[in-house]
Amino acid sequence: MYYSFFIGPAGSGKSSLVNSVSKWLSDHKIDATTVNLDPGVVTLPYGADVDVRNYVDIERIILDYNLGPNGALIAAADIMAAKINDIQQEIQEIGNEIVLVDTPGQMELFTYRSSGPFIIESFGRKNCMVFFLIDPTLAGKPSDFVSILLLSISTQFRFNTPQVNLLTKVDLITESELEKILKWGSEPYSLLESLSEEDSSIYRELAIQLYYNLENIGLISGLQPVSINDVISVEKIYGQISRIFFGGEDGYITQ
pTM above threshold 0.85: yes
Q: Tens digit of pLDDT for each residue in 24-61?
A: 999 999 999 999 999 999 999 999 999 999 999 999 99
Amino acid at 54: N
Q: Which fold has domain 2-136+159-172+223-246?
A: Rossmann fold (3.40.50)
CA atoms of 101 and 107, how far apart (whole Å) = 13
Q: Tens digit of pLDDT for each residue in 177-232?
A: 999 999 999 988 999 999 999 998 898 899 999 888 888 877 777 899 999 999 99
- Check whether 251 has a pLDDT greater than 60: no
- Check whether 252 has a pLDDT greater than 90: no
Cβ contacts of 39 within 8 Å, gap of 6 or more: 52, 53, 56, 58, 73, 76, 77, 79, 80, 104
Average pLDDT, integer, range 112-134? 94
User: What phi, psi does 72 have (nearest 5°)?
Assistant: -65, -40
CA atoms of 186 and 120, how far apart (whole Å) = 29
Mean pLDDT of the chain: 92
Enter the DSSP assignment of 104: P
Q: Which of 81-95, 114-128, 164-178, 236-250 has the lowest mean pLDDT?
A: 236-250
Q: Look at the alpha carbons of 51, 54, 60, 64 in this order and tell me if their dihedral is positive or negative.
A: negative
